Amino acid sequence: MKFEDLRNANIKRQREWPGDDKADVAFRAIEVAGEFGEVAEAIKKYLRAERGISGSTATLEDIADEMADSIIALDLLANQLGLDLGTAVARIFNMTSAKYGLKTRIEDPH
Ligand SMILES: [Mg+2]
């Protein structure tokens, strides 16, 4: 799957989503923070299971689900700001490679 596929699907689905017109940039930013917090929570529960600590637990699949929610939410926020995640990721990845003298680069998708 490409970032472009996610963007197109997000735009299409949000047209169906009741109340989406009331989800502004602030709402989307809170949503992103919440979803990334859920990743951390799932990892905590995964470590709890690994270490035999009492309480609710999570699997790697649970962590993957929360990571996916996070990316979906991040794309919704980027869309509202008119940003292209694929371009941004390629640019920053390449800047970091250049900074540390590494050869690996990502082609800008556009
Ligand atoms: Mg979630």
> Each residue of 1-31: pLDDT tens digit?
999 999 999 999 999 999 999 999 999 999 9
Cβ–Cβ < 8 Å for 31, 76 = yes
pLDDT at 109 over 80: no
| pLDDT given for residue 31 in this prediction | 98
pLDDT tens for each residue of 60-103: 999 999 999 999 999 999 999 999 999 999 999 999 999 999 99
| pLDDT given for residue 108 in this prediction | 79
Q: Which domains does the chain have, with CATH numbers?
A: 3-99 (1.10.287.1080)
CA dihedral angle for residue 21, residue 39, residue 3, residue 12, rounded to 10 degrees:
-30
Ion ligand 1 — residues with CB under 5 Å? 35, 38, 66, 69
| pLDDT given for residue 110 in this prediction | 75
CA of 36 to the centre of ligand 1 (A): 8
CB atoms near residue 68 (< 10 Å): 13
CB atoms near residue 10 (< 10 Å): 17
